[in-house]
Chain A
């Protein structure tokens, strides 16, 4: 079910402001791609353009193309609602729906998409929670509010919620930045397991994390403040970290700026 993503000459605007300029890259299916770079370099913007979430921000639009196994996500007749079902997303801060139970949180996306059958829902909820390595911790309190879980558990709940709609791609926007080291480790293990079934794109500020979990790394940077963000280079993680082609990449990875 995982699919590859082809990004070609992508420009992202917010109103008249060009946030990201001319990004071209390919994300292979069943792999983890990390987007790294200093704050404001546009990596989150690129991530959000992959499921058209940037359109939620006022004036957000793109030029260029993004294709999912050849299907243009920005074709005129393409419904952003459908795009977001194919491309799931996990956010920086865990954001379970506070008024819903653990079970209802995971089932939320299915119910929205018209799945009503109790047996199917039960099955998918269990499978998704297992997939998010959360099942054993919550199986006895599925009817309790999701907000009662710890931060790390909440984030895994959000991952379960995202994979419950069986997307082809999973986007993660700094999923561990609000978590403690042990929870972070749990999420990283989970990412490694999930890539067997999903194409994963993750934004992270943590170099070690990028090195640990990703197969491919893309480095973004700004020419100067006020200039649009650009893709500097993209390649296998081992190459980018050991033998980068551009000086700026090396400086950033070694912590000289950003």
Chain B
């Protein structure tokens, strides 16, 4: 492909070669354009194909296993994938995944937005750059390191808090005491909140920084305090950005694998159902990752792929919503 380009031809011609006729040069230019545009377009199409194929392959390999499933896939809490009559369902995985992610959002969104406001509006100028870098570094820490830290260091700090909540609010089913000492749903949520906070902050920071100075000044000129200026000018302007940041963070929390795998305590089969956030339980991702060694038959693998498919659909929806919100905003600001 490259040899047909005029620049390469010119470079490879060592002797003073006669200039190629004008028409030919134009045609090689056009050929180059065609090839290059084709390659660029091809890459774009490849990306579309890849995402589509992810869906297609997951569905294709999940279906045979799902057909054999003796339990209801969506509502069963069982997970027996071997044998002639496998019984598996995602109820428990979905509950753990979603409730831990919601806890993560409940912490990460307000704190993340506050940090973004601190960096863009409140912090002294000299601190803004370093502060932003520190939060970005939080995103650079590999998730396996979070897992290690959560198990070996952080757990001992959260444990007493959990005990306290269970003692005080144990009457509410969500906070009922369970006796689980390892990774509770609550703990998973707290760890996830730390991991997704930089996502919330980075995106919110960007939109807050874009708030036009004229809007900020308009509020201040009406006699607004800094906080009132934030509420009348900065937050309304940044709201779509914050929503999409939250959705992206949610997508990340739902799919986070290794840190969760490190901390979950899986429940023994037959453990009675509990709504408590202090119960154990596995997420989609940790169930798959913890059992990677079991992928020895198409049926077993298919069951895990089916769980992965549900996770894919969940994150797809969340990300699509985030995308739509961003586009609305683009349309609005024009």
Direct contact of A and B (CB under 8 A): yes
Which B residues are in CB contact (< 8 Å) with A56?
216-217, 220
Question: Is B70 part of the contact surface with A, judged by Cβ < 8 Å?
Answer: no
Shortest CB distance A16–B (Å): 15
Interface pair B222/A162, CB less than 8 Å apart: yes
Q: What are the residues of chain B within 8 A of A161 when measuring CB–CB?
A: 218, 222
Are the CB atoms of B232 and A112 closer together than 8 Å?
A: yes
Residues of A within 8 A of B212 (CB): 95
Residue of A nearest to B212 (CB): A95
Known interface pairs A97-B232, A98-B237, A100-B236; A108-B214 also in contact (CB < 8 Å):
no
Question: Which of B37-45, B86-94, B223-231 interfaces with chain A?
Answer: B223-231
Q: In the docked arrangement, what's the CA distance between A84 and B221, Å?
A: 5
Total contacting residues, chain A, CB less than 8 A? 27
Residue B30 is within 8 A (CB to CB) of chain A in the complex = no
Binds B, one of A20-28, A85-93, A136-144, A184-192: A85-93
B221 CB contact (under 8 Å) in A88, A97, A98, A113: A88
Give B233-252 interface residues, CB cut-off 8 Å to A: 233, 236-237, 239
Q: Does B215 contact A (CB under 8 A)?
A: yes
List residues 75-130 of chain B with CB under 8 A from any CB of chain A. 125
Nearest B-chain residue to A111, judged by Cβ: B232
Judge whether A97 and B220 touch: CB under 8 Å: no
Q: Does A118 contact B (CB under 8 A)?
A: no
Question: Are B232 and A93 in contact, with the CB atoms below 8 A?
Answer: no
Which of chain A's residues have a CB closer than 8 A to the CB of B332?
A: 98
B333 partner residues in chain A, CB cutoff 8 A: 98
Instruction: Please tell me which one of the listed residues B125, B214, B224 contacts residue A95 in the complex, with CB atoms under 8 A apart.
Output: B214
Q: Is B224's CB under 8 angstroms from A98's CB?
A: no
Chain A residues contacting B239 (CB-CB under 8 Å) are 99
Question: Residue-by-residue, is B198-221 near A (CB-CB < 8 Å gives 1, otherwise 0)?
Answer: 000000000000001011111111
Query: Chain B residues with Cβ under 8 A from A82's Cβ?
Result: 223
Q: How far is the CA of A246 from the CA of B328 in the complex (A)?
A: 56
Interchain nearest-CB distance for A2 vs B (Å): 18
Question: A81 an interface residue at 8 Å Cβ cutoff?
Answer: yes
Q: Complex Cα distance A108/B236, Å?
A: 13
CB pair A51–B224 under 8 Å, yes or no, is no
- A1 and B216 CA atoms in complex are apart in Å by 27
- Tell me which of B212, B221, B237, B239 has the highest count of chain A C-beta atoms within 10 A of its own C-beta: B221
> What residues of chain A lie closer than 8 Å to B225, measured between beta carbons?
81
> A81-B225, A99-B236 known; A53 and B220 CB under 8 Å?
yes
| Cβ–Cβ contact A89 & B221, under 8 A | yes
Q: Compute how far the CA of A96 lies from the CA of B221 in the bound complex, rounded to whole angstroms.
A: 12
Cβ B223 vs Cβ A85 within 8 A: yes
* Contact residues in B for A58 (Cβ distance below 8 Å): 125
Instruction: Please name the residue on chain B nearest to A85 by beta carbon.
Output: B223
The answer to whether A40 has its CB under 8 Å from any CB of chain B is no
From A84, A93, A99, A100, give the contact of B222 (CB < 8 A).
A84
Expressed in whole angstroms, the Cα–Cα distance for A56 and B220 within the complex equals: 9
In contact, B217 and A112 (Cβ under 8 angstroms):
no
Output the least CB separation between A86 and chain B (Å): 8
Judged by a CB distance under 8 angstroms, whether A109 is at the interface is: yes
CA–CA, A148 to B304, complex, Å? 53
| Complex CA distance for A93 and B224, rounded to whole angstroms | 20
Question: Which residues of chain A come closer than 8 Å to B232, judged between CB atoms?
Answer: 97, 108, 112
**Nearest chain A residue, comparing its CB with the CB of B221:** A89
Q: A29 contacts the other chain (Cβ, under 8 Å)?
A: no
- Chain A residues with CB under 8 Å of B216's CB are 56
Residues of chain A with a CB closer than 8 A to B237's CB: 98-99
Closest to B226 in A: A81
A124 at the interface (CB under 8 A from B): no
In the bound complex, residues from chain B placing their C-beta under 8 Å from that of A162 are 221-222
Pick from B212, B215, B218 the residue with the most CB of A within 10 Å.
B218
In chain A, positions 168-226 with a C-beta closer than 8 Å to chain B are none
Given the contacts A97-B236, A112-B232, A165 and B222 also touching, CB distance less than 8 Å: yes
Query: Does the CB pair A53–B217 fall under 8 Å?
Result: yes
A132 at interface (Cβ–Cβ under 8 A)?
Answer: no
A88 to B36, CA, bound (A): 58
Decide: B125 and A97 in contact? CB cutoff 8 A.
Answer: no
- Whether B222 contacts A88 by the Cβ 8 Å rule is yes
Q: Does A158 make an interface contact (CB < 8 A)?
A: yes
| Residues of A with C-beta under 8 A to B224 | 81, 84, 109, 112
Contacts of A97 in B (CB 8 A): 215, 218-219, 232-233, 236
CA distance A100 to B233 in the complex (A): 10
A216 to chain B, nearest CB (A): 23
- Mark contacts of A140-163 with chain B using CB atoms, 8 A cut-off: 1 yes-contact digit, 0 otherwise: 000000000000000000100110
Q: How far is the CA of A228 from the CA of B186 in the complex (A)?
A: 61
Please name 11 further chain A to chain B contacts, defined as beta carbons within 8 Å, in addition to the given A84-B223, A91-B217, sorted by A numbering. A53-B217, A56-B216, A84-B222, A95-B217, A95-B218, A97-B215, A98-B237, A112-B228, A113-B223, A158-B218, A162-B221
* Residues on A facing B (Cβ under 8 Å): 51, 53, 56, 58, 81-85, 88-89, 91, 93, 95-100, 108-109, 112-113, 158, 161-162, 165
User: Which 6 pairs show the lowest CB-CB distances between chains A and B?
Assistant: A85-B223, A109-B222, A95-B214, A99-B236, A89-B221, A84-B223
Q: Could you show 18 A-B contacts with beta carbons less than 8 Å apart? A: A53-B217, A53-B220, A84-B221, A85-B222, A85-B223, A88-B221, A89-B217, A89-B221, A93-B214, A95-B215, A97-B219, A99-B237, A109-B223, A112-B222, A112-B223, A112-B228, A112-B232, A162-B222
